[in-house]
Structure 1
Amino acid sequence: MNKNNKALVVFSGGQDSTTCLFWAKQQFDEVEVVTFEYGQRHIEEIDVAKTIAKELDVNHHVLDMSLLNQLAPSALTRNDQKIELKEGQLPSTFVPGRNLLFMSFAAVLAKQIGARHLVTGVCETDFSGYPDCRDVFIKSLNVTVNLSMEEDFIIHTPLMWLDKEQTWALADDLGAFNYVRYNTLTCYNGIQGEGCGSCPACKLRSRGMERYLEKREAENDDSANLSHSHT
């Protein structure tokens, strides 16, 4: 465990980034978070991120990235575009260049605040086909960012190979299951906690949670039965 460095978490106030924040708080002595405002349709996530940062006692930066909305319209930045996933196409919620820009600006901020470690919740297992959530992209960007600034940043992706069920398991291991369940905002329609239940983000989140809870319950039953058989 690395306990003598500072980390900056790319933070949206959603399930994944909040789990990463709890993870980072265990890994590093000092943690700050950065949230990007880019005209996202679920703009409520900015307020949720502010509240969580305050409750978890971490310094919170909000950066204006509205130019991204102007350059890269998608269903995530336009209310008049339908959220949909068509076979063989990128999801309508894909925002071209988003993670490239977010991580680059996060690195610039990290340099200013003296943070060597960058943490992001991108994931290749449940990545919905987004090319900028892949491990190969993050590794490539890590090299590029370091070369551009003569720095030795380390980009951490604790969720990269986890599916949503395993992400819930990690939150539970970190003692944050209920906090993540009720306080985060993953929903594309801006509904905190359990969400709207019908958008792709909510379906992915709830399906993973149901699987994890079923597994946890089964394991608890097995443990209870084992304990009972020994008495």
Structure 2
Amino acid sequence: MTAQPQQQPRRRPASSGAPPPPPPSAFRVPGALRRTNLVSLPDGYRASVEPPVTSDGFLGEAFVMDSQEFLCWLSDYYRDDIVTLRLIIRMMGMQKPGGTVEATQSRLAELLKVKQSQISRSLKDTGSLGVTAKVKAGLYQLHPRLSLRGGRVPMEPRPGTRAQGTLKVDQLSLLDAIEDNPDLPGAFKELRQLPDPEEKPLREDKTRAQARAAKKGRTS
């Protein structure tokens, strides 16, 4: 009895208009995730491993970039101060890598369509809490525990070199730099916790307005 050759099954012709199948997902291929952790480096190169970019614990215990916890606190604490609330949100949107905001008080007042005196008052209040700090005229810093835009910033060239490189900024490195900077206000350097919004007293002008309203109600 002779062996008969096995007949190959017929295949349907592929449709010319059908898109190519998607590449296999790393989560469906056994061992793919382990393989992605292997990095081949050329001779003479080395790599370093850095910890996850996070803070040492603050409010929600895991603060990275624009924290939802801070936005919630902001809306509660400045519920009676719409100018300061709008100002911080605007500065969060304007910040450059590293959390710096390049704008004068007059420019901020122009953007918010308020008086410059209101901007000055708001920055004084947020500065006393450690939320913001004035670095120099026209340059402010948002605290990296609360709000941070990561990225790379220009680096001053070293003595004897003309090339100017860039430096990667993250939350932990900025927190270390703040502690080592003697020019920053103490409230900004020592920020560890924000006040409870429920314990915040009304602004003086709000208190006076309530007193006038109460007095008017007694005389009418």
- The answer to whether the superposition gives a TM-score over 0.5 is no
Question: TM-score normalised by the shorter chain: which range applies?
Answer: under 0.3
Larger Rg: 2
Provide TM-score, normalisation by structure 1: 0.23
